[in-house]
Amino acid sequence: MRLSQIFLKTQKNFPSDEVALNAKLLEKAGFIYKNLSGVYSFLPLGWMVMQKIMKVVREEMQAIGAEEIMMPALVSKEIWQKTGRWDAEIGYEVLGKNEKNPEFILGWTHEEVITEIMTHYIDSYKDLPRALYQIQTKFRNEPRAKSGLIRGREFIMKDLYSFHKNKEDLLSYYEKVAQSYHKIFKRLGLNSIYTLASGGAFTTQATHEFQVVCPAGEDDIFVCESCNYAENKEVSNLREGSKCPKCGGKIKKEHAVEVGNIFPLETKYSKDFELKYKDEKGEYQYVLMGSYGIGIGRALGTIVELYNDEKGIIWPKEVAPAKVYLIAIDKNGDDLYEELKNKGIEVIYDDRDIGIGEKFYDADLIGLPYRLIVSPKTGDKIEFKKRNENNVNILEKEKVISLILENN
Amino acid sequence: MRLSQIFLKTQKNFPSDEVALNAKLLEKAGFIYKNLSGVYSFLPLGWMVMQKIMKVVREEMQAIGAEEIMMPALVSKEIWQKTGRWDAEIGYEVLGKNEKNPEFILGWTHEEVITEIMTHYIDSYKDLPRALYQIQTKFRNEPRAKSGLIRGREFIMKDLYSFHKNKEDLLSYYEKVAQSYHKIFKRLGLNSIYTLASGGAFTTQATHEFQVVCPAGEDDIFVCESCNYAENKEVSNLREGSKCPKCGGKIKKEHAVEVGNIFPLETKYSKDFELKYKDEKGEYQYVLMGSYGIGIGRALGTIVELYNDEKGIIWPKEVAPAKVYLIAIDKNGDDLYEELKNKGIEVIYDDRDIGIGEKFYDADLIGLPYRLIVSPKTGDKIEFKKRNENNVNILEKEKVISLILENN
């Protein structure tokens, strides 16, 4: 992409009305725009990153046999009354409930919706197991949202629901999803800690969260320094310095961000909706369910909280909007730009008619993994610098290309 | 894809609570599920078609230099008051306005949002022109929605906004978008008619709609039989049998579906938000704007209204969830399935443990472009049938593959 043609304007200063580092950096670098408190627009570079994250999520969902669907955001009052959620939820958190004659709300989770759908499609044990997910915009009324993309009024989530014949099959898939989530977060550059948590509005069972230790986190978790066993403070009797119940190691308290969560719902929703299947003996049994969420925008916010320095963002490779930031000084960079593209390397070519200082500033702020410079000084060679390292090397073109491709 | 692994259940009968043919067919064939009146879920096959349509739209948007962004659905009261839309709109059509203390509504169009954003990014003539689009779920309260995907309470739209220095540049881009829209609809199998229309809530200027003649259409348009010149009834003095004002041909009245619309907004929104740029002489001028919409779900509904027979849907090639429906009778079809996939041909392999009659029924109902059968009767050859033709041919494998690839 030629930067002269991309809609991008970086800022010289942090926005004055943001507290969260992720929002400050993403706004300064031109990735997002704040429309309202907790409500953001993704500008072209920001939307590219979101699409990269969604691509990773889709690939890993496909790998565990989950199929993509799209459910409506509008959820009827009736269906929420059926599970007791209509009365249980505090009104202002749910958009739509304060309508004069509320008929539906904007669902921020879809257990009711998917369970009702499945009553029409699951008849027999032959229809199980099944796993369906969606990537959807969700809404929650957070009047004092101030964590940037980590807690918003409007946010994009991946929610997955699974359906099983028996507890064994549910728990085996639950474990599969847990592994898939660790893989997803690893690809996104996030080290996720599997944390015991409470069921909240979803279930009375124990559930699990994927927590990422990060200064911006809103959750307190107790983590074992040796084996990574972790419990959310809400459900934990552990304290800083306690002995780990698994390995006897030392427990540490951390301020963390919940980037994913998984719930073994078992028959909670199937019972509310009479979701049953006929087993091998012809007898009707309740379907067992699990539900599993990942905050896509929240993951992006968490990545930025962790990957940055005083100059700007440092994108992990898999989610960077492009791999290479190319600057040509007193020289035409078109040939190299075309060659890199032809090799399948994503490049942002800063061909704007602005000063070199500004280009260096933006290269660091935008934070692509590799910065390449060609100039009369480099001759046939290329100046190569990684965003996360300080050393600069003048290398042969072939060497540069192979370094980028190897690390892709 | 192996059908035994896809979440799909077709029905024997049309749903009893649907009037619109598109909803009847799509529900019967297992592509969508009706959650509420005017509110649908896309099941895996339906979502695949939606993604194909979005792919076409994205490709053509990129071809005219438009960049993808994502704006919020939540639109503040304040911003809608600025353009007078808050008071002009009838409350019940807009979700959120009937809240006890409405702070924002769910925007079903984003002129206000994008204009406000651009006041922060457009300073100079060097920042123009610019074109930004999004593909987003939108909401409108339609208490008696009964047209299936053609008019819903919740629907996916592509909305594009462009920004220009002067009227000449705006009109030239407007024309470019019009050509792009014709191309998009053609790729989707829709013959769109460029129709003069009123500005509605957007502008007092004349605007244009892309209308597709179809029995399910809710609009009346007057079209010339010779040159395709058309006017929406709302703005037209023409009548059935009138003389075409362009070519003198005969005017015909048609019941049509509006699948797209384009608006030369000029300075309406720039004036409300003081969106100005500094021209080459250093003087401030209002930015000129255009806005352009395509209903993604509505396009899908319209395709189904036009492409079907008594047996089911007949997907146009570019939007079919796959190209080939493969059935193996008393024979293993795995090798052919793998070979087709390796050639880059998308296949649904009906490997379900059900009767052949059911497979034939579903092949027609689901409506992929090509049905292939292998059996002891066909030997090394393959039975080849197009969904939109009745003749069946037994052909060599190489011939079948080349026929499919040629028509891809």
For the stretch A141-189, pLDDT in tens is 877 788 999 999 999 999 999 999 999 999 999 999 999 999 999 999 9
Cα–Cα distance between A386 and A307 in angstroms, integer? 14
pLDDT at A290: 97
Would you call B86 helix, strand, or coil by DSSP? helix
Q: Sort out which chain B residues have CB atoms less than 8 A from A69's CB and list them.
A: 7, 41-44, 46-47
Pair A268, A201 in one domain: yes
Cβ-defined contact of A70 to B76 (cutoff 8 Å): no
Beta bridge partners of A220: A255
Confidence band, pLDDT 50/70/90 cuts, at residue B393: very high
Q: Sort out which chain A residues have CB atoms less than 8 A from B354's CB and list them.
A: none
pLDDT digits (tens, 9 = 90+) for A27-54: 999 999 999 999 999 999 999 999 999 9
Of A254, A284, A309, the one marking the end of a domain is A309
Search chain A and give the residue with CA nearest B9.
A121
User: Best of B41, B98, B108, B287 to disrupt the A interface by mutation (most A CBs within 10 Å)?
Assistant: B41
Pair B43, B131 in one domain: yes
Average pLDDT of the segment spanning A353-370: 97
- Is position B4 within any domain? no
Pair A376, A270 in one domain: no
pLDDT at B207: 92
Residue A201 has pLDDT above 70, yes or no: no
Search chain A and give the residue with CA nearest B116.
A35
pLDDT at A203: 56
Average pLDDT of the segment spanning A91-115: 81
pLDDT digits (tens, 9 = 90+) for A261-312: 999 999 999 999 999 999 999 999 999 999 999 999 999 999 999 999 999 9
Of A282, A309, A336, the one marking the end of a domain is A309
pLDDT at B200: 60
Residue with tokens 């509420």: B36
Pair A392, A265 in one domain: no
The helix (H) or strand (E) run that includes residue A186 is helix A167-187
Search chain B and give the residue with CA nearest A353.
B126
Residues in Cβ contact with B117 at an 8 Å cutoff, skipping those fewer than 6 apart: A33, A35, A41, B71
- Is position A146 within any domain? yes
On the CB side of B216, CA atoms within 13 Å amount to: 24
pLDDT digits (tens, 9 = 90+) for B111-163: 999 999 999 999 999 999 999 999 999 988 777 788 999 999 999 999 999 99
Is there a contact between B10 and B28 (Cβ–Cβ < 8 Å)?
yes
ipTM over 0.90: yes
CB contact, 8 Å: A154 with chain B?
yes
- For chain B, the domain total comes to 2
Pair A289, A326 in one domain: no
Is there a contact between B191 and B157 (Cβ–Cβ < 8 Å)?
no
Cβ-defined contact of B72 to A121 (cutoff 8 Å): no
- Is position B190 within any domain? yes
Helix axes B21-28, B296-306, angle to 10 degrees: 90
Residue with tokens 């035994």: B4
Query: Percent of chain A at pLDDT above 70?
Result: 97
Q: Which domain holds residue A27?
A: 15-309
Q: What is the CATH number of the domain that holds B355?
A: 3.40.50.800
Chain B from 56 to 85: CB within 8 A of any A CB: 65, 67-74, 76
Pair B328, B300 in one domain: no
pLDDT digits (tens, 9 = 90+) for A319-359: 999 999 999 999 999 999 999 999 999 999 999 999 999 99
Of A247, A282, A309, the one marking the end of a domain is A309
Residues in Cβ contact with B398 at an 8 Å cutoff, skipping those fewer than 6 apart: none
CB contact, 8 Å: A95 with chain B?
yes
pLDDT at B103: 82
Cα–Cα distance between A369 and A188 in angstroms, integer? 14
C-alpha closest to that of A60 among A314, A407, A296:
A296
- Is position B2 within any domain? no
Q: Sort out which chain B residues have CB atoms less than 8 A from A116's CB and list them.
A: 35
CB contact, 8 Å: B17 with chain A?
no
Q: What is the CATH number of the domain that holds B58?
A: 3.30.930.10
Cβ-defined contact of B44 to A68 (cutoff 8 Å): yes
Residue A123 has pLDDT above 90, yes or no: yes
Confidence band, pLDDT 50/70/90 cuts, at residue B201: low
Is there a contact between A157 and A192 (Cβ–Cβ < 8 Å)?
no
Cβ-defined contact of A67 to B44 (cutoff 8 Å): yes
Pair A255, A345 in one domain: no
Pair A192, A332 in one domain: no
CB contact, 8 Å: A12 with chain B?
no
Average pLDDT of the segment spanning B54-76: 97
CB contact, 8 Å: B11 with chain A?
no
pLDDT at A127: 95
Pair A327, A181 in one domain: no
Residues in Cβ contact with B184 at an 8 Å cutoff, skipping those fewer than 6 apart: B56, B57, B60, B260, B294
CB contact, 8 Å: B9 with chain A?
yes
Pair B195, B65 in one domain: yes
pLDDT at A89: 64
Pair A185, A280 in one domain: yes
- Is position B241 within any domain? no
Cα–Cα distance between A46 and A6 in angstroms, integer? 12
pLDDT at A200: 60
Cβ-defined contact of A73 to B137 (cutoff 8 Å): yes
Residue A407 has pLDDT above 80, yes or no: no
- Is position B237 within any domain? no
User: Best of B42, B54, B70 to disrupt the A interface by mutation (most A CBs within 10 Å)?
Assistant: B70
pLDDT at A397: 97
Pair A343, A304 in one domain: no
